Chain A
Amino acid sequence: MLMIALKMLIGDRAKYIALVAGIAFAALLITQQASIFAGFTRRAGSWIRGVNYPDIWVTDQTMEFSDDLKHMSDMKLHRVRGVQGVAWAVPMFKGIIQVRLPDGTQKTVRLLGLDDATLIGGPPEYVAGELKDLRQDAAVLVNQADLVKDLSLPRDPSGRKLGVGDRIVINDNQARIVGIYRSPKEFFWGSLIYTTYSRALAWAPKERNRLTYVLAKAAPGEDPTTVARRIEAQTGLLARTNAEFDRATIMWMINNTGILPNFGITIALGFVIGALVAGQTFYSFVLDNLRSFAVLKAMGLSNKRVLMMLVLQVVIVGSVGYGLGLGLASVVGYTMRDTEIAFFMPWVIPVFGAVGVLVCCMLAGVLGMIRVLRVEPAVVFKN
C-alpha cells in the first residue's frame, strides 16, 4: 500500500511540485537565515578566537564584550602577574582614534597596542610584512579587507590602494604601514590597526587609565578557568577564559543588538509560510484524493493503514523539500562566502531545520489526515 501512496503522491505532478516547493522554501528560509545568524554570532567573537595564544582575558569588571572599551590602571597588570598559577601576563590597549589617510580622508578606527616585548595578540596571517615589523619606527599593520573599504582612498585620482610604505596620520602622529594582515571578518565595525602598546599609548588621547586588557597564560598544569576565578578573587577584576569571553561577546550581541528578534522573525515567517503553503496544498491534495481514500477504506483498508499512507506522503514531501531547501541554502552560502554576508552552517542548523520542517509537515498533514480518517466509506456510492 505504501507504493500506492507514493504513486498517488507523485502521480499528481502539479500538486507534488507545489508541495515540495512549499517545504523547500520553508527549509531554505529557516536554514539560510539561521546560518546567517550563526555567521554573525561567529563573527562577534572572531577577534578573540584569533588572539589564541593567551588563556585568560582580564578586564575592568564592568566590561561586557570585546569592544566595550573600559580601561584600567597600569598597576592592574602587576596584580595579575602576582596571582598564583599565572605563567605570564601582558598588557593590551584598544581604543577609538582618528586617522587621516594620504588622500586627506579622515576615518575613525580602532587602534590596538600589543605588548612591546612579546607582541602577543598580533594577527595570525599576513599578506605583506610580518608581526616583528611592528618593532620598526612608527610602524602599524592594517587589514587587507579594509584597504577596499574603510581605508580606501576615494579622493586619490589614481584609484590606488594603501600599501606597505604608505604613511598615515594617527591623531596627529605620523605612522607608517609596515605590513598587511588577513583576519576573519568581525561583527564589530571599524578598521583595526595594530601597533605596539607604548606607541598606542603615545598616540591615543590622554586618559588616566589606559590598560584595556591583560592577556594571561595559565602555568603548566593549571586549569585556566580556575586561574581566572583566582584572578577575579584576588584583583577584583573580570577574568574570563577565551571561551568565556567569546561567549560573553556573543551573548552581548544577541541581547543588545536586536539581531536575534530580526532573524527570529524571518525564521518564524519561513516556518509559517512553509506550513501554510504546504498545509494548504496537502489539504487540497487530500481533498482531490478523498474519493480514492474512501474507495480504499470501503475495500477494507483500515484507518491505521490509511494513516500510514498519509504519513509516508508527508515524509516523502518533507524529505525531498527539505533536501532541496537545505541544498539551495548551502549553494547560496557557498556563492556568498567572500561577501559581507555572514554564513556559517554548523551541524545543529540542519538538525534544527529538519525539526522545523518536520513540524511544518505535521501541521500540513494533520488537517488532511483528520479529513481522511473522518470520511465515511459510504461516500463511494455518491456521484
Chain B
Amino acid sequence: MTLAEPQTTLAVRCNDVVKTYGSGNSKVTALRGVDLDVRTNELMMLVGPSGCGKTTLISVIAGILDQDSGECEVFNHNFKQMSAGEKTRYRGQTVGFVFQAFNLLPTLTAAENASIPLLINGMKRKEAVERAQATLSRVGLGDRGHSLPAQLSGGQQQRVAIARALIHGPKLIVCDEPTSALDATTGHKVMEILREVALGEDRALIIVTHDSRIFEFADRIAQMNDGQIVKVVDSHMELDKH
C-alpha cells in the first residue's frame, strides 16, 4: 500500500483506481479508489468475498479493462497513456493469464494451445510448437503435447494453461481462481509449479482466489471488500487474526 519503495522494485503500482459499471440507477462501483503495490519476485494474492472487485482489479492491472480514474502502472508502463494498439502489443509481451476455467481452445492440441502467445508475438508456428513442447515438459506434461484438452484431466489442463501463460516469458502473470476447479492435491501441485516457474527477479505473480488451501503460497495477501483494499498482510495467519 505504500509508494515509498523505489519504482524499480515494483511490478505493479495502483493509485486511487476507480471503476464503475453501468449508469444511472444501475450504476455499480466495482473499485472505490484502490491503492496497491506488487513487488517484483512476489506472489500477491487478492482475496475477498464475491463481488468485492478482485476480478475487476486484475482486469485493470492486466490492461484488459480501462479504469475510470486513478493510475495503474505495470513495470512503469501506464496503460492509460498508451493507444489501443500499443496496449494490446504490450499486454501480449508482458502479461500472462491463467483462468479458472482454463480457457484452452478445444480444437488445438496442448502444445498448440501453449504456443499461442508466441504465435501472437510473431514466432513461426513450427518453432513455437517446439518451444511449447519444452515448456509443457517444465510443467510435467512433456508426453501430452499432442493431446486435445478434452483428453486431459482438469489438473493437466490447468498445467497447459500455466505453460501457455509462461511460454513467452511475461513479467506479470495474473491468475483468476487457478485452483478452484481442482482437487486439493492437484491444486497444491499447480501452485508449486506456479511458484517455481513464474517468479523471478524481474517478474511478479498476482492470484485472485477464494481457495484458502493455497494461501500459504502467497508472499503477501491483499484483502478486498466492497471495492477497496482493506488490508495487506504478509501471511495468511495474519488474515485470521482480524
Contacts and interface: CB of A to CB of B under 8 A. Distances in A.
Contact of A376 (B65, B107, B117): B65
A296 B107 contact: no
Q: Categorize the interface residue count of chain B.
A: 20 to 34
Contact of B100 (A301, A378, A383): A383
Question: Which of the listed residues A7, A291, A299, A305 has the most CB atoms from chain B within 10 Å of its own CB?
Answer: A299
A3 interface: yes
Given A381-B59, A381-B176, A298 B105 contact: no
Interface string A1-41: 10110011011100000000000000000000000000000
B137 interface: no
Contacts of B64: 297-298, 376-378, 380
Interface in A342-357: none
B112 A7 contact: yes
A302 B108 CA distance: 20
Interface in B34-76: 55, 58-59, 62, 64-65
B65 A4 contact: no
Given A291-B103, A292-B103, A378-B65, A4 B108 contact: yes
Nearest to A377: B64
Nearest to B60: A378
B100 A300 contact: no
B107 A11 contact: yes
A300 B89 contact: yes
Contacts of B121: 300
Contact of A1 (B85, B99, B120, B176): B120
Q: Which 10 A-B pairs have the closest CB atoms?
A: A300-B92, A11-B107, A377-B64, A378-B65, A378-B59, A381-B55, A295-B103, A378-B64, A300-B91, A7-B107
Interface of A: 1, 3-4, 7-8, 10-12, 291-292, 295-303, 305, 376-378, 380-383
10 contacts: A7-B105, A10-B107, A12-B107, A298-B64, A298-B97, A300-B93, A300-B121, A301-B120, A305-B120, A383-B100
